[in-house]
Structure 1
Amino acid sequence: MSRAATTASWPPAPARGQRLRLTGCLALVALPHLFHLPPWVSAIAATLLVWQAQAAWRSRPLPGRLIRFALAAAALGSVLAGFGRISGQEAGVSLLVMLLALKLCEIRSHRDAMVFLSLTAFLLITQFLFSQSLAMAVYLVIGTWLITAAFIDVSSEIAPTGAFTHSARLLLQALPVAALLFVLFPRVPGPLWGLPSDAGARATTGLSERMSPGSISSLATSDAVALRVRFPAGDMPPAPARYWRGPVFWDFDDGTWRGSPAADALPAADIRPVADAIVRADITLEATRHPWLIALDVPLGTDHRSRMSPGATLYAEDDIDERIRYHARSALAYRLDPRLGAAARERATRLPAGGNPRARATARRWRTQADAPQGIVDRALTHFREHPFHYTLSPARTGRDSSIDDFLFETREGFCEHYAGAFTFLMRAAGVPARVVTGYQGGERALVGDYWVVRNSDAHAWSEVWLDGRGWVRVDPTAAVAPGRIEAGVAGSLSDSQALPYMARADEGAWYRMQMLWDGVNAAWNRWFLAYGPQQQQRLLERIGLGGLRGALVALTFGVAVLLGLLALWLGWRMRQRRAADPVTRQWQRVCDRLAAIGYPRARHEGPQAYGARVARARPDLADELGAIVAGYIRLCYAANPGSADTQAFVARAAAFDPRRPRKPRD
């Protein structure tokens, strides 16, 4: 570009190439949204983008105001009809995608293009509402690069290929500031990427606040990751100890087990661990939109702010609305509530007044035949072993009011929730305190990285009975029917394991290995970036000696100041280099400075020729000499390949020019 070239303004009718590039930029940014928004939204957005691309390619005139208004109203109406609202995660993004596609219809100026690209950048950020994976992060970096290049493209005369180069350079320059802000800027508690109206719409672990037949077996069809675990001090505990405790249910009614405020008001669990059986784990938990913190059974505590419930479950202060990382301590050998209070005993033996008469009668018979509660437990487990019970993902349906009787004496088909729920009912009917515990059982070792993966398909339910002198004791009736469930996981114990998702089938083929390799990459991303919350930041700041958020803010301010100072020095050095490398411009500026010193300063709007003519009219004695300097400067500015001899001649003439030296007046 020549020295005299200036930035071009956006023409009244945007150029065909620029309009096509703007359309392509929006299409690439919106592409991931088209796959996770409803199909009808994707179809409308794709149609609008194709229409805009065709119009730009054929240089068609922009539609009139009435047509644009009608299309915008149609987009608004379709979102209202499809979602019932225009706010929220999916509805808001759907409306934004459609209106941005229509915004291409009214770009008539440089300002319109800048507004459009700013909104496109906002659309790019909304991708994190749906996915925060490493792949999405890479995609967002590419999108930022494209949008920045588009800003450069519409604001200068740089060629499109040059705009991409400039954009990449700007992003690289921004990396140090971004890294500093990521580490030191105060982290906001709670989800950063979420909308209140969508809260609770989906919970990634799948565990619920209640359990009924089919509620956990439905989770077996999902191979999504529930949590990842590292054991800093050693390997994963053996398979029989891989129980991950979640919510505990005390109340039973209408075939459903659930927690209750009355049970939550009981005293917190009294856990007395065996000293040499304590395990420490570094856990990355996916968002659940529930407050419980999953840990090995039984948990003793975590470094995350939490409380111990009466059911020995750790509860965070708020719902887990984002992926979090915490360190948990658990006891594999323990005595849990060695003394049971009257209120807890009453709660743990309560049953509805009616329903399931055959199960009640069987439990009463066992009670009369057994010498102690342990004998009742043994008889129930023997019942499951000796009768033709079947462990399956697709059991026969049972009635709501007689679900226990139907399962125990009719269908005898079920998943873990059927066995845990029926066993707990039998114990209570026999007068033995019992409750249902839900969580996960199992885990698979990662192929890359020192961690274990627990999936939704590992969701499990078991029972706890209270025995005098021992406290709450875990009893897993599923193991009595399907022993392979504990040692080999869900896939190793189901005859219909083909109904499981691929990653839960224990099929270690090429596709499985590729998925696990990618999970290792994502695990590192989750651990060091997405799980970097307020508590992790606090630990890091203390480790590097900043002493909390106040020290972080001081360090952040100092660091940004240093970076900006270094940037200013670098820019000054670059500008000095350019001045030194351009003797023609430097000598011309000196001529202007000398004329300004004798009372003829150059106005900001004056070009070289107009300025020289004005000075010549005021000082005719300088006209010839100054005219030659001006002509030489203009010739060198616009010459394709100025010769070194011409440059040296101009520099010598300009350097010798002294307007204060007396001259003979022109005739």
Structure 2
Amino acid sequence: MRMTAWLGALPRDARDTLFLLGVIGIVLLPQVPELPWWCTGLTAIMLAWRGTLAVQSRPLPGRWWLVALLAVALAATFATYRTVLGREAGVTLVVVLLALKTLELRARRDAFVIFFLGFFAMLTNFFSSQSLLTAVAMLLALLGLLTALVNAHMPVGRPPLAQAARTAGWMALLGAPIMLALFMLFPRMAPLWGTPNDQMTGRSGLSATMRVGSIAQLALDDGIAARVKFDGGRAPPQRDLYFRGPVLSDFDGREWSAPPPWERAFLIADLRVQGEPVGYEVTLEPSNRPWLLALDAPVKPPEIPGLRVMATPDLQWMANRAIGDLLRYRAESYPQFQSGPLRRTGALQRYVALPPGANPRTVALAAQMKADPTLAGAATPAFVNAALERLRTGGYSYTLEPGLYGNETADEFWFDRKVGFCEHIASAFVVLMRALDIPARIVTGYQGGELNGVDGYWVLRQADAHAWAEVWEAGKGWTRVDPTASVSPGRIGAFQRLAAQPGLFAGAIGTMSPTLAQNLRAAWEAVNNGWNQWVLNYTQSRQLDLLKNIGFEAPSLQDLATVLLWVLIAASLAGAGWTLWERSQHDPWLRLLGRARQRLEKAGLALPEAAPPRQIATQAVAHFGAAGQPVHDWLLRLEAQRYAKTPEAGLPALRAEFRTLAWPR
């Protein structure tokens, strides 16, 4: 109440300025995480300075202050980005210029410049995020800017801001159908938005390489990597949900990486599938990576407009560019499959290669296993089972805090530490297999996920990122082996997993009611998924599907433009009709009096602009004599219709009489 009373006591200029500064703050607040620290600080100082000047009714700073601040902003922008061009530098300058413009806010013209800069700055928020929360914040900012714009067009008196807000809300509501039509029918172009930052170091998620032992503590990222909707809701068992990402086969002692593209040409995929396929739809979050996730194992890559996707010989899907925007595609996979050559070839030699002299104790363990009488002459499955049995019974454990490893990561895992997360376990297992002269490689991706009971989508989180192994077996080819399941069966499938530490608010709710916390998260993620599916992922193909649903057999972009044109014409005609109807509702009595005044003025009678009917009637008789008497009587009846308790005639009758009246000439 005190704040409201204080604002009410301010002059209108100060009140309107503070309101505009508050709206600018709402516009710029989502940008803070993306802006340099100096930009945030400088902008806050300028807005606070302008607010103080408005409250204290002090003069604005001189031109040299503005020039100096602009020079500082340009220099700081160049020092930060080494350019004043480009997306990041451009957004930074727009934010500074918007705040700087408030320091010369003197006239309505300056306010209009701020409005338009504010609208542009509002759009730049979508460069870094197109989430539902960002959209809601920008809707509030839009209504705020519209309210300030309407208020600026009310120059007389002190109209309440609530009145301007109602007008702005009504304007936005009237424009919503046109906005919806443009969204549905305007041809989809390539995304204009930037790609999110790629900062995965020390966090769960996928990477092009896997450096073993360099992370002492893994922070589980609860962010969503992808959503999967299985056809008919028929998903494979959760333990079989392995979504394939990068396949790593080259090892330098610490880091695993994929072979260069030109070397992959010598590898053989030879995918062999059996059983029934599983159809599904993937909604992939932006990753700034060129790979697409697919459930093991897909037969063919998806067809995505504007994107070329190829399947590598190791069954990974690769796009011709990084995925910087939300992407949806359909796929079909066979959970029962085999791949690779059935007989050992020279191309498999890269999968037994190890750095010379690396991990000597693991190499010695392999020699010991070969010399074991129970394994003498055994095939690959026997050695695999022996290694998995060692993991199950040797005191090994799965943890997110294994500590920093040295250079001999496999030796440390097998003999010293015996702790690690999936990358340590998979790497040590593959090194042991290669020391046994068994071709092996590491596959990274996502395993498991969880079903959202609200919308029926399986959610893959960054915390579900996983690494497993594939070994080659004569007569079968590549076979999946997940050594982590031997150390921690709960990591695979529907059992208890290591979870990210919840935030303070989520942790408090979870303590009071774990079920409530889970339901709230599921509901919120379902709402976000609906936003992704129906707004962010509304593609050109979905536009054309819309035309098919309304009767077009083979719709094209020309058909889309034609439908949009007709919709806009219909909207324009509807708007014109509404305007005519709305005018007819605006005090028809005054309009009829105005028409009578126009008739008399055309006949030569000069009348005051605000003359009432009785005064006009008196002047008509005085000017026209007896010819003006019918008009005199009609005007008195018109006055009585407005003010008398029991008028002689209604407005429709007076309007009909107006048309038959003998007007003086």
Q: TM-score range by the shorter chain?
A: 0.7 to 0.9
Q: 1:219, 1:459 within 8 Å by CA — same for their partners in 2? A: no
Deviations 1:129-172 (CA, angstroms, capped at 9, x unpaired): 23222222122222111111211111234833322122111111
Deviation at 1:248, TM superposition (A): 0.8
Query: Residue 559 in 1 paired to residue 559 in 2?
Result: no
Q: 2:14, 2:57 within 8 Å by CA — same for their partners in 1? A: yes
Secondary structure, counterpart of 1:221 in structure 2: coil
Please tell me the residue identity of whatever aligns with 1:362: L
Q: Quick one: structure 1 residues 579 and 357, their matched pair in 2 at CA, closer, same or farther if it must change by over 3 Å?
A: same
Instruction: Determine the structure 1 residue equivalent to 2:579.
Output: 571
Deviation at 1:97, TM superposition (A): 2.5
Deviation at 1:79, TM superposition (A): 3.8
Instruction: Determine the structure 1 residue equivalent to 2:432.
Output: 426
Query: Residue 293 in 1 paired to residue 292 in 2?
Result: yes
Query: Residue 472 in 1 paired to residue 478 in 2?
Result: yes
Please identify, of 58-67 and 203-212, the stretch whose mean Cα deviation from structure 2 is larger: 203-212
**Distance in structure 1 (CA, Å) of the matches to 2:664 and 2:56:** 59
Q: Quick one: structure 1 residues 184 and 493, their matched pair in 2 at CA, closer, same or farther if it must change by over 3 Å?
A: closer
Q: Quick one: structure 1 residues 275 and 511, their matched pair in 2 at CA, closer, same or farther if it must change by over 3 Å?
A: closer
Deviation at 1:354, TM superposition (A): 3.8
**Distance in structure 2 (CA, Å) of the matches to 1:527 and 1:248:** 29
**Distance in structure 2 (CA, Å) of the matches to 1:161 and 1:55:** 24
Deviation at 1:322, TM superposition (A): 0.8
Match of residue 47, structure 1, among 45, 48, 63: 45
Instruction: Determine the structure 2 residue equivalent to 1:144.
Output: 142
**Distance in structure 2 (CA, Å) of the matches to 1:608 and 1:341:** 103
Contiguous gaps of at least 5 residues in structure 1: 1-12, 610-620, 630-635, 637-641, 661-667
Alignment of 1:172-211 (within 5 A): 172-189=173-190, 191-194=191-194, 200=198, 206-211=205-210
Deviations 1:280-321 (CA, angstroms, capped at 9, x unpaired): 222211111112111222223454432211111122333211
**Distance in structure 2 (CA, Å) of the matches to 1:264 and 1:623:** 105
Instruction: Determine the structure 2 residue equivalent to 1:275.
Output: 275
Query: Residue 452 in 1 paired to residue 458 in 2?
Result: yes
Q: 2:344, 2:474 within 8 Å by CA — same for their partners in 1? A: no
Secondary structure, counterpart of 1:62 in structure 2: coil
Deviation at 1:65, TM superposition (A): 0.5
Instruction: Determine the structure 1 residue equivalent to 2:132.
Output: 134
Instruction: Determine the structure 2 residue equivalent to 1:332.
Output: 335
**Distance in structure 2 (CA, Å) of the matches to 1:230 and 1:487:** 18
Please tell me the residue identity of whatever aligns with 2:330: H
Instruction: Determine the structure 1 residue equivalent to 2:391.
Output: 384
Please identify, of 358-367 and 242-251, the stretch whose mean Cα deviation from structure 2 is larger: 358-367
Query: Residue 366 in 1 paired to residue 369 in 2?
Result: yes
Instruction: Determine the structure 2 residue equivalent to 1:439.
Output: 445
**Distance in structure 2 (CA, Å) of the matches to 1:154 and 1:270:** 70
Please identify, of 359-368 and 560-569, the stretch whose mean Cα deviation from structure 2 is larger: 359-368
Instruction: Determine the structure 2 residue equivalent to 1:375.
Output: 382
Instruction: Determine the structure 1 residue equivalent to 2:529.
Output: 523
**Distance in structure 2 (CA, Å) of the matches to 1:97 and 1:279:** 49
Instruction: Determine the structure 1 residue equivalent to 2:6.
Output: none
Deviation at 1:458, TM superposition (A): 0.9
Secondary structure, counterpart of 1:397 in structure 2: coil
Secondary structure, counterpart of 1:61 in structure 2: coil
Please identify, of 67-76 and 332-341, the stretch whose mean Cα deviation from structure 2 is larger: 332-341
Deviation at 1:19, TM superposition (A): 2.2
Instruction: Determine the structure 1 residue equivalent to 2:614.
Output: none
Q: 2:217, 2:401 within 8 Å by CA — same for their partners in 1? A: no
Q: Quick one: structure 1 residues 500 and 418, their matched pair in 2 at CA, closer, same or farther if it must change by over 3 Å?
A: farther
Please identify, of 26-35 and 201-210, the stretch whose mean Cα deviation from structure 2 is larger: 201-210
Instruction: Determine the structure 1 residue equivalent to 2:107.
Output: 109
Query: Residue 258 in 1 paired to residue 265 in 2?
Result: no
Contiguous gaps of at least 5 residues in structure 2: 1-10, 611-619, 629-634, 636-640
Deviation at 1:273, TM superposition (A): 1.9
Instruction: Determine the structure 1 residue equivalent to 2:349.
Output: 346
TM-score (ref. length: structure 1): 0.81
Please tell me the residue identity of whatever aligns with 1:51: W
Deviation at 1:552, TM superposition (A): 1.4
Alignment of 1:455-604 (within 5 A): 455-488=461-494, 492=496, 508-546=514-552, 547-578=555-586, 580-581=588-589, 582-591=591-600
**Distance in structure 1 (CA, Å) of the matches to 2:551 and 2:352:** 53
Q: 1:384, 1:481 within 8 Å by CA — same for their partners in 2? A: yes
Please tell me the residue identity of whatever aligns with 1:145: L
**Distance in structure 2 (CA, Å) of the matches to 1:208 and 1:534:** 30
Q: 1:427, 1:433 within 8 Å by CA — same for their partners in 2? A: yes
Q: 2:398, 2:488 within 8 Å by CA — same for their partners in 1? A: yes
Q: Quick one: structure 1 residues 201 and 112, their matched pair in 2 at CA, closer, same or farther if it must change by over 3 Å?
A: farther
**Distance in structure 2 (CA, Å) of the matches to 1:50 and 1:251:** 57
Q: Quick one: structure 1 residues 501 and 30, their matched pair in 2 at CA, closer, same or farther if it must change by over 3 Å?
A: closer
Deviation at 1:201, TM superposition (A): 6.4
Secondary structure, counterpart of 2:493 in structure 1: helix
Question: Cα RMSD between the aligned structures?
Answer: 3.9
Deviation at 1:517, TM superposition (A): 2.0
TM-score (ref. length: structure 2): 0.81
Deviations 1:366-399 (CA, angstroms, capped at 9, x unpaired): 3453421222222222232232222111113222
Q: Quick one: structure 1 residues 473 and 71, their matched pair in 2 at CA, closer, same or farther if it must change by over 3 Å?
A: same
Deviation at 1:83, TM superposition (A): 5.0
Q: 1:304, 1:535 within 8 Å by CA — same for their partners in 2? A: no
Instruction: Determine the structure 1 residue equivalent to 2:638.
Output: none
Deviations 1:240-281 (CA, angstroms, capped at 9, x unpaired): 2021111111211141111122443245633222232x2122
Instruction: Determine the structure 1 residue equivalent to 2:311.
Output: 308
Please tell me the residue identity of whatever aligns with 2:399: T
Q: 2:215, 2:403 within 8 Å by CA — same for their partners in 1? A: no
**Distance in structure 2 (CA, Å) of the matches to 1:501 and 1:421:** 32
Secondary structure, counterpart of 1:523 in structure 2: helix
Q: Give the fraction of aligned pairs with identical amino acids, expressed as a percent.
A: 36
**Distance in structure 1 (CA, Å) of the matches to 2:110 and 2:133:** 32
Q: 1:299, 1:313 within 8 Å by CA — same for their partners in 2? A: no
Deviation at 1:226, TM superposition (A): 1.0
Deviation at 1:558, TM superposition (A): 1.6
Count of equivalent residues: 610
Instruction: Determine the structure 2 residue equivalent to 1:613.
Output: none
Q: Quick one: structure 1 residues 125 and 253, their matched pair in 2 at CA, closer, same or farther if it must change by over 3 Å?
A: same
**Distance in structure 2 (CA, Å) of the matches to 1:187 and 1:485:** 42
